[in-house]
Amino acid sequence: MTKQLSGKIALITGGTTGIGLATAKELVVQGARVFITGRRQKELDAAIAEVGANATGIRADASVPADLDAVYAKIAKNAGRLDILHANAGGGDMLPLGSITEEHFDRIFATNVRGVLFTVQKALPLLVNGASIVLTGSTVSIKGTANFSVYSASKAAVRNFARSWSLDLQGRGIRVNVVSPGPIRTPGLGDLVPDEHRQGLFDALAAQVPLGRLGEPEEVGKVVAFLASDASSFINGAELFVDGGMAQI
Ligand SMILES: NC(=O)c1ccc[n+]([C@@H]2O[C@H](COP(=O)([O-])OP(=O)(O)OC[C@H]3O[C@@H](n4cnc5c(N)ncnc54)[C@H](OP(=O)(O)O)[C@@H]3O)[C@@H](O)[C@H]2O)c1
């Protein structure tokens, strides 16, 4: 049976843990060759060992334009084109209004907004006509969340990028969509609170999900694979929530 992403070349930024790693594994299972990035070499090496022969790791910080140039130079040399771009690198921490610092704002927007913008813009020469771009958003972009306004605003910006870029890319057949997870059991979610409060956070979040549980990274990876594939060929500029219903009710 032909796999749905056979022969496709994909880049997943922030592909060393959590949602990005699960997506890399799913895309490879579906037949793609993947490049993954992350800032930490040890995690990158471990991820490459886990994903297998069809994965290449490139250490790069998505908020540093020169790193992105190096990523695309390597992909150009090794693969010559890109069919799938998952701009996923991101994260954030919590501060209430009143305590927000310039450093907090700049750091979160540097990766989640500026990083996503230049990850996509610098990919354009390599992206084939008909390519699929998937941005990682979040349910928080359409909800209010205490202490999380800067991160939430950064994801609201990502949501609009997909709307506007779908128009900018008219004529190339390139689709731009957002996958917006609810609470997903990843290192990034757990790191929002000290170790001793992790289970409490997970339980509190699960209680807000109609399905009564956290999501698993693989459940997001499968949706990214769908958005990357021809099975979603008429889905463009959309936001697909993978949240157990959390932001839908
Ligand atoms: N987990 C959730 O509940 C949830 C919900 C909604 C949205 N999201 C979004 O999903 C995406 C993935 O998060 P996750 O939960 O899977 O977190 P994670 O396990 O912490 O993974 C984040 C990945 O991104 C990389 N990364 C972070 N900053 C980077 C940068 N500046 N440049 C390059 N790589 C970077 C990390 O590696 P290095 O640290 O080594 O760079 C890691 O590979 C993020 O955009 C996050 O905002 C997560």
The mean pLDDT of the chain is: 97
- Which residues constitute the domain of residue 227? 9-188+217-242
Reported as a single tens digit per residue, the pLDDT across 149-190 is 999 999 999 999 999 999 999 999 999 999 999 999 999 999
> Residue 200: inside a domain, yes or no?
no
Query: From the alpha carbon of 185, which atom of ligand 1 is closest?
Result: 1
* Per-residue pLDDT at 46: 98
Query: From the alpha carbon of 189, which atom of ligand 1 is closest?
Result: 1
Cα–Cα dist 20/39, whole Å: 13
* Per-residue pLDDT at 1: 63
For residues 13-22, average pLDDT? 98
- To test ligand 1's pocket by mutation, which of 88, 122, 191, 209 has the most ligand atoms within 8 angstroms of CB? 88
> Residue 144: inside a domain, yes or no?
yes
Model confidence at 9, pLDDT cuts 50, 70, 90, reads: very high
> Residue 44: inside a domain, yes or no?
yes
> Residue 209: inside a domain, yes or no?
no
> Residue 207: inside a domain, yes or no?
no
> Residue 25: inside a domain, yes or no?
yes
Residue nearest (by alpha carbon) to ligand 1 atom 17? 188
Reported as a single tens digit per residue, the pLDDT across 64-108 is 999 999 999 999 999 999 999 999 999 999 999 999 999 999 999
24, two tokens: 């890399």
CATH number for position 225:
3.40.50.720
User: Does residue 127 sit in helix, strand or coil?
Assistant: strand
For residues 202-218, average pLDDT? 98
For residue 3, the CA-to-ligand 1 centroid distance in Å is 27
> Residue 19: inside a domain, yes or no?
yes
CB 177 within 8 A of CB 134: yes
Q: Which residues line ligand 1 (CB under 6 A)?
A: 13-20, 37-40, 43, 61-63, 88-91, 111, 115, 136, 138, 181, 183-184, 186-189
Query: From the alpha carbon of 21, which atom of ligand 1 is closest?
Result: 43
As beta bridge partners, residue 9 has 33
* Per-residue pLDDT at 2: 76
Residue environment code for 71-102, b if the CB has 16+ CB neighbours within 10 A, otherwise e: bbeebeeebeebbbbbbbbbbbeebeeeeeee
Closest of 127, 115, 32 to residue 72, by C-alpha: 127
Cα–Cα dist 45/40, whole Å: 9
Residue 12 has pLDDT above 80, yes or no: yes
- To test ligand 1's pocket by mutation, which of 35, 186, 191, 193 has the most ligand atoms within 8 angstroms of CB? 186
Answering whether pTM is above 0.75, one says: yes
List the catalytic residues. Answer: 151
Structural domains in the chain (count): 1
> Residue 167: inside a domain, yes or no?
yes
